[in-house]
Structures are given as C-alpha cells and as structure tokens.
Structure 1
Amino acid sequence: MHPTLQKPEAMLFDLDGTLFQTETLLLPAYHATFDQLRAEGSYTGETPPESEILGGLGMLLEHIWQRVMPGVDEQVHRRADVLLLDHQVQGLERGEGRMYDEVEATLKALRDRGIRLFVASNGLEPYVKGVIEHKGLSPLFEGLYSAGEFRTRSKVDLVRMLLETYGVQSAWMVGDRSSDVEAGRENGLAVIGCDYAGFRKEGELDGADVRIGRFSELLELLPKEADKANE
C-alpha cells in the first residue's frame, strides 16, 4: 500500500527511464554512432559497454560522454552529440522506441483529474520533443522542458524555471534518477521515484517520498475524489 498524497496542481516527468523505455531507441543509435565515429577516423577502439551510457542516463549529455569516453578530445564528444541525436531521430521516424506500459492511459487519467502535465528532462530539445511528438503524446502536455533548449546546468534550475514560467504552486516531480530527487527536493516538490528502469545506482531514490514499480501506480497515490463524489 502506498500513502495517499495531497493532489498536486501539476506533475513534472523525467523522460528517460520514467515515461520512455530509453534503451529501445538509444542502444541501436549508440552503436551506429560509434560505427560512424570510427568510419570518420575520430575514434578508434571498441564501442564502450552499453552499461556505460545506460548508467549515465539522467546526466547532461556532456557528462555522459565524459563517462563513456574519458580522455577523448571534447570535439569528438560534440560530434558524438550530433550523431547520436541524428540516429535517434531517424529511429523515431522509423517507429522505433517504446513508452512504458500504461503511460498514455495514465497520463490521460491524470489530465482528466485536472492535473497539469509537464516534461522536465536533461536531454537535447529535438530528442525530448521528438519522443513525445512521435509517440502521439504532445496534446497531453502543457510544456516540454529540456536542458538542451534552456541551457540549464542542472535539473534543479530547469524545474525552477518551469515552475516560475507556468506559475505552478504545487507539483510532484516524477523520475528515476538522483537528479530528479534533487530537483524535486530543492524546489519544494513531492518526489515520486520510478523504480522500474534499472539504470540507476543503488541509493539514488533514497530521498523520494514514494517509490512506484509501474507507471500506473501514480493514480493510486491520489485521493479518491470520484469515490467521495458518489457517496
């Protein structure tokens, strides 16, 4: 049983590992990126293990490449930015990538309850907006915020900017990484930790108010307004 939290005005969602099964799009693009880097002569050696990039999800992209390719020239990292994004966008256009189970139905149910929905992601703008648009979810969201678009240095700053811009007074931060927990805590939000992606390190969600094992459990955390109305 989960505790019932106070109904928020809005919910802010991380994208990768929260709404979107990132590996279903990322890993083919990751291998294609390194194939192209080698073909261009800007990288030699084997493709780093998939665990390196999956373990970096939730970080800013520049920090991900420092983890995946330490000691490699920054120009190669910036070229990898371009290639990875291109391959992911092409994959989306081919219909690749999957949302987690019940994401669309749950988001619609939250909207029906009058909750405003937003995305707050450390990803690049074309990727974040591309995933939501290609999966047909754009009409459900009031705003899609990405570190790539707003050049924020942390998710704390990104979330603060979103809350101020849209005049949100109460919200839940929903995500799967320590950056989501920090962003929620630093901005005075309830934090819902998504415990189903498996990309994080042990202890990353320790600061969350509640952990959920499937996305649809969000609905169980809300007060039963419909039940009261029928009494």
Structure 2
Amino acid sequence: MFGNIKTIFFDYDGTLHKSIKIYAPAFRKAYQYLVDNEFAKDRKWSDQEISYWLGFSSKDMWKEFMPDLDEDVRNKASKIIGKEMLNQLSDGKAQLYDGAIEVLKYLKDKKYKLLFVSNCGIYYRDMARELFNLDNYFEEMVCSEEYNYIPKHEIVKKIKDKYPSEMVIIGDRIQDIEAGIKNEINTIACNFGYGSKDELSSADYEISNIAELMKIL
C-alpha cells in the first residue's frame, strides 16, 4: 500500500509526543482559575478526560468545551494553558514516544520528505523544535496558529503541492484522518495516541507503536 510514498505528514501530539504529560497539569491549572473566579464548578478531571482535547486547536477546544464562556475569560484560560505547557517544556517534562526519533531518522535516511503539521501555537512548535532537534528531520514544521487556526485539512491543502504527490498522513485524531480523506491522501492511524477507536476507523492502516512505521515504510 505504501510502496510509492515519498511525502509523509506527521501530526505531533499523540503521534510523536506523549503530550498528556504536559497538557494535563496545564489544563487543570486553567480550570482551577475558572473555578476560583466562579466561571466553572469545582470537579476533578482524569487524564483520560483531558486527553480528549489533545489534537484540537485552542480555538476549537474552547468552542466545544465551554462555548458560553465570555471571550476575555476564555482567552485568559487559554493563555494559562499555553504558558503552563511552555513551563513544563522548559522544565524538561516533555517526552516523545519511545523510538520516535529513531523512526524519524530512519525515514529521513530513506529520503522521504517529512512534514510536521500540528494544531498548535508557534511558540510551542518552536520549543519542540529546539528540545528535540526536529529540524534534523522535517522539511517544514507547520502549526495552525500560522494559518489562523483553520482546520488541518485546509492547511494540508495549502502546502501539499510543494511536495511529491505520493503522500501519507500519520496521526492519532479525527482531524488527521479527515485531512487525509479530504485531500485524497492515504492515512495511518496511531491507536496509541488520544483518539477513540471510532474516530480512527476510516484510516487506511493502523499502528500500535510508532516503531511499526519502519516495517511498512
């Protein structure tokens, strides 16, 4: 199925990066701000519940999570999440999945064009780039903030023509699978990330470990 592939789009959070490690404490801190200021009721959030929001852009997350929240309050809470995630990154709390760098190096050495496409902010992307030396592997690192948080499938449509047309998209959420389907690109679902079984059911192929890519690509 993937014998002619030349260009690979990679999602980041939940695909290469075990992002719940830094997102969960950031989410809880922002939610506590909402509780303290009587914008939300006090409750405990499990990592599994919080992980649902990984893969969403900040804009889409708040639109679905608390759509009636005042925009200024929403922006403040969003900034708390962003700042705390960056603090976690700076403190060395970020973790890639075991084998992720080895996979990227393997694919780069095989002359694939690797592209990073994430529903994240610019500064977050740049911190990840620096922490894990991602410029060694990716031709381009795209984040949704650069495109005013439009859907991922629209971002892929805007950039795909710069690269060889034999493509595959690898990710763990419906946004990644949708980006492939709407752009007529093959998809590989990562069932070890944060997406549900149902949302990944339309993918062309499924992997249970990032290292499996070295067997099929």
TM-score of the superposed pair, with normalisation by structure 2: 0.90
**Mapped partners of 1:207, 1:53: distance in 2:** 24
Q: Which residue of 2 aligns with 1:217?
A: 212
1:69-84 mapped onto 2 (5 Å cutoff) = 69-84=66-81
Segment drifting more, 206-215 vs 56-65: 56-65
Counterpart of 2:209, as a letter, is: R
Structure with larger Rg: 1
Deviations along 1:176-205, one digit per CA (max 9) or x if unpaired, are 1111111011112110110112x2233111
Contact 1:25 1:92 in 2 (8 A): yes
The CA deviation at 1:80 is 1.7
Distance 2:165 2:149 in 1: 21
Q: How does 1:87-106 map to 2 (within 5 A)?
A: 87-106=84-103
Structure-1 residue corresponding to 2:192: 196
| 1:228 paired residue number | none
CA contact (8 A) 2:191 2:208 kept: yes
Tell me, in whole angstroms, the C-alpha distance in 2 between the residues paired with 1:110 and 1:167. 16
Q: Say how many residue pairs are matched.
A: 216
What's the counterpart of residue 7 of structure 2?
Answer: 10
CA distance, structure 2, for counterparts of residue 52 and residue 124 of structure 1: 22
Shift of 1:12: 0.5
Q: Take 1:136 and 1:167, find their aligned partners in 2: how far apart are those partners?
A: 22
SS at match of 1:20: coil
Cα separation, 1, equivalents of 2:154 and 2:19: 23
Residue pair 1:11, 1:117 contacting (<8 A) in 2 also: yes
Q: State how far apart, in whole Å, the 2-side matches of 1:70 and 1:192 are.
A: 31
Deviation readout 1:146-170 (Å, 9 max, x if unpaired) = 1111114211111111213x33322
CA RMSD of aligned residues (A): 1.9
Is the Cα–Cα contact under 8 Å of residues 53 and 64 in structure 1 kept in the other structure? no
Unpaired runs of at least 5, structure 2: none
Q: 2:174 aligns with which of 174, 178, 191?
A: 178
Is the contact made by 1:31 and 1:47 (CA closer than 8 Å) also made in structure 2? no
Q: Equivalent residue for 2:203? A: 208
Question: Retained in 2: the 8 A contact 1:10–1:117?
Answer: yes
